[in-house]
Each structure stands twice: as structure tokens, then as C-alpha cells.
A and B are shown apart, each in its own frame.
Chain A
Amino acid sequence: MSLVQGAHPQTTQPAERARAALLAWPEFNKPAVWLVAVILLIMPFIASGFFLIEIFATTLILGTIALSLMFLAGYGGMVSLMQLTVAGFAAYMVAVFGMSANTNISLGWPWWLATPMALVLATAFGTLGGALAVRTEGIYTIMITLAIGAAFYYFTNQNWAIFGGHTGINTIATPKFWGVDWRSDVPYYYVTLGVAAFCYFAVQYVSRAPFGLALQGVRDNPRRMAALGFNVNAHRVAAYAFASFIAALGGVLQVWNYRQISPGSVSVGACIDILIIAVVGGITRPIGPFIGAFIFVILRTFALDLLVKFGLDGNRFRLLIGLGFLAIVFWSSDGVIGLWERWRRRATATDKRPGGGHGHG
């Protein structure tokens, strides 16, 4: 895709132009961003295997899937609940085409064939779903995409020939090459970090490319964009295709992480979790889903201990998530990012600086 070429500023250019190109990315001129990047890069030296995979890699994977929803919702105005379904579809396809313990289902292709196949098929699946969803507008999108997600869940549950029924497909082979087992903790962490960073910058780039700007125009006023000669539906379907590709990448990472896939991973609850992650983080910026995913993973991992410590029932984790989500929806439509920005604006108001940073409309 030509979309991603600009994600890495060329270093062969004259120094000043490179600098200007670098500064066009607002992320690069803040010290905090560099700090986070460095911390993420040296994470394997700080965190142990459990934290590295269960917290950080999981955050990056869920964040990537939620990023695809953020792209659709934030720039396209389409809240799609099937992003996890697309990811799950990619995961299933990796299992079906690749190698696993269910030899009567898996075709046994090597990973470098199975993975691109899974990505292509999942992107096609998501694009078709999107083409259906754009037949109607606004609030109907949620209903249709939720119906697609739920139908896929029930289908995987009852189909044994391809999807392995409700036990799913187990012991899926993960890539090993160049003498590295890419599923061992540290290499796997860097793979997820690389993919997440790639998706993050791709979304950043597309949001400023002509296509992304047109998409935001479509979000704000579809009739006007149509009058200006833009094909509104084509833009929307293309947005679904792009988002599906990102979600599919997340799905491939997920299946490599757990090495198994079952209908439970694509349940309606899991689809809604992705929405929660994106909304809690904030759907106005690509960084939002990652923040949301981090909060979600931390809560999911430690809520049990925390609740028990407070003398409550440890199983009420979902209640906590639901109430937290309600609170965010009630008080900050912009998620945690919105809260942070509001707080900063109040803090900088005394300095008479234009606050708020760069918003995307």
C-alpha cells in the first residue's frame, strides 16, 4: 500500500527538509513522546515475562484492534462493532491455513503463506461487512455490525467443518525462522510493538492524507461531500477496508499469542470490549485506543486482587468495567484523552497559551 510510505520520513533528504518533515508529525517534538517510545523499546529489560506479554503485548494487540475502530469512528463517524470479528476471522484463517493440532481442519501451509492469506481474506471479509453497513446510515451501523459480529460468533460455535465448533482450534504453530522462535517472550514483544507502531503511524498518516481528509469531510457532512463530487460510499467502504487490515493484523498477533482460537474469543462481549477500550481511551486520537487498552488490561488483570482486597467479590470485574464505561460515557465523551485535555486546558489557561494541542476536528 502506498499509504505507509510516508510513515517513515526519508533520511536521505537534506537535513532541514528532513527536520521539517519530522516536525510535521506533532508527536516528534514533545519530550514525553520520546520518553514513552524509549520506555517501550527497553521494556524487555525492565519487565519480566508475565508483564511483558500479559500486560504490554496484550495492550498493544487490543490497542491495535481498537485503533481500527477508532479510525472508523473518529475519522469516518462509523461506530463498527465488528472490528474484533474481523480480527477473529483473521485469527481463524491463520489457524485454518496454517498448522495446528486439528490436522483435519488445518491445511498446514507455512506461516509466510498462511498469514498473508489470512490478512487478505480478513480484509475482504471486513470490507464486505462494511459495504453492507454503509447501505444504511448513522445509528444503524452499530446494529448491522453488531448483528454481523454476533452471527459470526454463533456460526463459529455451530460449524465444525471449518471453525472447529465450540472447542475451536488449538496448538496453532507460530513462526520460527532465522534461528529465532518469534513466539518466545522478547521477540514476540518486539513484533507486537512493531506492528502496533506501524498501524499507529499508518492511521496518523492516512488521517492527514487526502483520503483521510475527505473521509473526515464525509463524516461531518456527507451531502456536501457528495455535492462536491466525492463518492461518499466508496470512501466509507475504503475506510472499512483500511480498518479491517489493521484489525486483521491485530487478530494475527492475537492468535500467535494464545496459540489457540475458539468462539469465546469472538463473542459479542469481546466485540463490545473493543468498543469500550476505544471509547474509554478516546476516539478522537490514534493514541486513545492504546491508553484505553492499557487501562482495560490493567483492570482485567488486577481487578480480582483489588476487589478481594477491599473485601468484595472478585468476580465482579465486568461490573466494574461496565460502571467505568458508563461513567466515561456520561461525563467525558472524549474518553480519558478528553479528561486529560480538559485538565491541561484548565492548567494552561493561566499561562494564556492556546491549550488543547492539535485536535482533529
Chain B
Amino acid sequence: MTRFIERHPAWALILLIAVAVMLWLVLAVWPPGLEEAIGRKRVFLNAVFNGITLGSLYFLVASGFTLIFGLMRNVNLAHGSLYLFGGYIGYAISTWTGSWVLGFIVAFIGVALVGVVLQIVVFRRMEGEDLRQTMVTIGLSIVFADLMLWVFGGDFYQIQTPNWLVGPIELPLVTAVKSSGEAVYLRYPMVRLVIFVAAVVIGIAMWLALNRTRVGMMVRAGVDDRDMLAATGVPIQLVFVAVFALGAGLAGIAGVVGGTFQSISPGEDTRFLLASLVVVIVGGMGSIPGAALGAVIIGLAEQLGSVYIPTYAIVVTFLIMVLVLALRPQGLLARR
């Protein structure tokens, strides 16, 4: 942090001002002039919260993607399919047993198993051939998409939110002050906040696992230099399988989250593949903190964009990607 400020004082200042402005916009009661200029604060706050919670969903998808890419140099373009598959599993389990949490567990295990099979049966055979692996993942995504269309049809599915999470919760953030002087607080869906907290917990757990455990050390070493790690006698194939399973499982969990937030249907796989691509391009490929930062930026850009410039929202996302590629092609938080 201090090094960043020393190296790029101008950027640090701009960032600091941006964060301060953002905090003021979120916390302060907006003066009437501002409300006239850009609309009501409730709309803005909702967009910000939607953006951050959407970002947490993007983080769940993209962290698996970036982990797999970082270690195995495998651009897994079937990652969106894994997401969608997780969503369908979660839907099937939660409607069958009525347990939302069980849907998560089964989706994680089921999709992780698919990942293990993929790594052992397909990708191990073509190690080091980046382009071929990527082509295979494209083929797989087509096959998976069609198989899922076959089984589940083209309908929209929505996973039922459990009763204890239904309904809004009042947050200590003032959206407006009534003429009687009474403050109006923001009400926000409980389930989204819970998901956000869960994503943060998963992110921190992943960070701890990567930075504080032996396996994490192996994974980090593998990201830096795969061949050298293999030469030191680490069972690298096992590490590969474990990482692929974890990455796929995270995509599966994200599918259940997406099915609860929004809905799952054919085509969502592409949407989330695009989201993970942009998130890791912006955040830096192979970096978990990068995925978190990228996910929040893209989530916010998407939601704020769709509120304030509806027909050009995707352009904002795209411009962010262009800007990052132009200024820092390796991504915001990548080391190389």
C-alpha cells in the first residue's frame, strides 16, 4: 500500500478522492440540488448495493476461473457451463429436498466432480498445449450447453429463497429526510446481503488457504513456475486436480447463487463466461485479490450503468476493460 503511494502519488490521490466521494454519496443526506441533477438517493444506493452484491456473484465465478487459469494456463471457456450446471443442480436439489443449503453443498460437490473428471480425462492429456486446451473447452461448452438444453429445456428456473432469508432488512443508511424531519432508511433484500457476506468469507478463506497453508504454498509456487515445482517432487497432478475441482465447485456454488438472485436459463452460461473474462482481464489473470477487485468494479459499473445510461450500460463495462488493457495490460493487481 505505502509502496503504491510512493510510486504513483497522482494515482493514489485520484483513488483517494474517488473513494471519499463514493463514501460521501453513500453516507450523506443528499442536498436537493444533487437529487435534482442525478435522481433520488434511494435509486443510487440500490444500484450501489446491487452492484456490490452482483460483484460478489461475479467474484465466485471468476475466482475459480482465475485460479484454474493461473495454475494450469487453461483458459476454461466451459466455465460458464459449469456455472449453469451448478445452478440446475441447485434448483433440482432445493426443490426436491426443500433445503436451500443442501442445494449449495450438492452443487459444489457435483460440479467439482465434473471438474475432476475433466482434468483427469481431458486436460491432463494435453498439458502445456494452451491453445488446444482452450479449443477443447470451447467444444465442451457447446456439448454441455446442448446437453443441459436437452435435459432442462429452455425454461427459466428460479431457486426458492428460504423463508428465513425472505424479505428486506433495514440498513442504517439514510436515503432521504422527510419534511417532518424523520429519516428514511434504506431497505434491502436480506438474501443478497447474506450472499455478499458469504462471498467475502469464501474470498478470505481462499486467501488464507493460499497464503497460510502448505497446499496453498504449492499452488502459489505452481502459478509462478509450474515446471520447477514439479521438479521439486510435489505431486503436481494432484494439485492440478484439486485446484480444478475447487474452481469448478466455486462455479457451481455461484450457479446456485445466480439462480437465487436472478434466474437460470440457457444463455446465462455465456453471460457469466463474459463476466469472468472481463473480471479477470481487469483484475489481473491468476490473482484472487484481482478477481475480487475486478468483480466489484464490473458489478458496480454494470448496475450504475444500467440505472443511469440504460442503453449504453455494457459500453461502460467494456470501456473499463479497454482502459485497463491500455494502461496496465496485465491487469490491475497482477504481479507480472
Residues of A within 8 A of B (CB): 79, 132, 135-136, 138-140, 142-144, 146-148, 150-151, 154-155, 158-161, 267-269, 272, 275-276, 279, 313, 315-316, 318-319, 321-323, 325-326, 329-330, 333
Assess the B134–A142 pair: CB atoms within 8 A. Answer: yes
Which chain A residues lie closer than 8 Å to B132 at the CB level?
329, 333
B241 CB within 8 Å of chain A: no
B318 CB within 8 Å of chain A: yes
Assess the A316–B150 pair: CB atoms within 8 A. Answer: yes
Assess the B138–A275 pair: CB atoms within 8 A. Answer: yes
B174 CB within 8 Å of chain A: no
Assess the B139–A325 pair: CB atoms within 8 A. Answer: yes
Which chain B residues lie closer than 8 Å to A316 at the CB level?
146, 150
Known pairs A132-B326, A279-B135, A322-B146 / 19 extra A-B pairs, C-beta < 8 Å: A147-B281, A148-B318, A155-B314, A155-B318, A159-B311, A160-B311, A269-B142, A272-B142, A276-B138, A315-B150, A316-B146, A319-B142, A319-B143, A322-B140, A322-B142, A325-B135, A325-B139, A326-B136, A326-B143
Q: How long is the Cα–Cα vector from A143 to B313 in the complex, in angstroms?
A: 21
User: Quick one: which of B152-209 are within 8 Å of A by CB?
Assistant: none
Which chain B residues lie closer than 8 Å to A279 at the CB level?
135
Q: How long is the Cα–Cα vector from A71 to B4 in the complex, in angstroms?
A: 42
Assess the A151–B314 pair: CB atoms within 8 A. Answer: yes
The one of A160, A276, A318, A326 in contact with B146, judged by C-beta atoms closer than 8 angstroms, is A318
Q: How long is the Cα–Cα vector from A132 to B318 in the complex, in angstroms?
A: 12
Q: How long is the Cα–Cα vector from A195 to B10 in the complex, in angstroms?
A: 53
Interface residues on B, range: 35 or more
Assess the A268–B130 pair: CB atoms within 8 A. Answer: no
Q: How long is the Cα–Cα vector from A146 to B138 in the complex, in angstroms?
A: 11
Assess the A158–B314 pair: CB atoms within 8 A. Answer: yes
Q: Least Cβ distance of B64 to chain A in Å?
A: 15
Nearest A residue to B330 via CB reads: A136
Nearest A residue to B74 via CB reads: A139
Main secondary structure of the interface of B (DSSP, over half): helix
Q: How long is the Cα–Cα vector from A161 to B310 in the complex, in angstroms?
A: 12
Also in contact, A323 and B143, with CB within 8 A (given A79-B131, A138-B130, A151-B314): yes
Q: How long is the Cα–Cα vector from A345 to B84 in the complex, in angstroms?
A: 44
Q: Least Cβ distance of A196 to chain B in Å?
A: 25
Which chain B residues lie closer than 8 Å to A321 at the CB level?
142
User: 0/1 per residue, B16-36, Cβ < 8 Å to A?
Assistant: 000000000000000000000
B251 CB within 8 Å of chain A: no
Stretch at the interface among B225-233, B257-265, B270-278: B270-278
B322 CB within 8 Å of chain A: yes
Residues of B within 8 A of A (CB): 73, 75, 77, 130-132, 134-136, 138-140, 142-143, 145-147, 150, 270-271, 273-274, 277-278, 280-281, 285, 310-315, 317-318, 321-322, 325-326, 329-330
12 A-B pairs within 8 Å (CB atoms) are namely: A139-B131, A142-B134, A144-B321, A146-B277, A151-B278, A151-B318, A158-B311, A158-B313, A158-B314, A275-B138, A319-B146, A322-B140
Assess the B138–A159 pair: CB atoms within 8 A. Answer: no
Assess the B139–A139 pair: CB atoms within 8 A. Answer: no
Assess the B75–A161 pair: CB atoms within 8 A. Answer: no
Assess the B325–A144 pair: CB atoms within 8 A. Answer: yes
Also in contact, A140 and B321, with CB within 8 A (given A159-B311, A322-B139): no
Q: Least Cβ distance of A312 to chain B in Å?
A: 11
Assess the A135–B311 pair: CB atoms within 8 A. Answer: no
Q: How long is the Cα–Cα vector from A276 to B135 in the complex, in angstroms?
A: 9
Assess the B312–A159 pair: CB atoms within 8 A. Answer: yes
Q: How long is the Cα–Cα vector from A322 to B322 in the complex, in angstroms?
A: 31
Nearest A residue to B73 via CB reads: A139
Assess the A135–B326 pair: CB atoms within 8 A. Answer: yes
Nearest A residue to B327 via CB reads: A135
Q: Least Cβ distance of B271 to chain A in Å?
A: 8
